[in-house]
Structure 1
């Protein structure tokens, strides 16, 4: 996950290493509690 700011507004972006098929479920593991975007 990468935080990108557009016009001063934060956006969280996910990038895939492989193509994602239509209808395929995707998940993301946030890991620990040390997530700078959680306020």
Structure 2
């Protein structure tokens, strides 16, 4: 399993990107853990 962490300042657009990445990973049967973290 691969782990991907996306980090940004606000977190709003990053959470949308995470959802799309998870959907795509599921579509191609890729085992991945994708999460987002907002830092300020």
TM-score, normalised with respect to structure 2: 0.25
- Which one has a larger percent strand, Structure 1 or Structure 2? 2
Q: Which protein is bigger by CA-based radius of gyration?
A: 1
TM-score, normalised with respect to structure 1: 0.25
- Which one has a larger percent helix, Structure 1 or Structure 2? 2
Structure with larger RCO (C-alpha < 8 A, sep 6+):
2
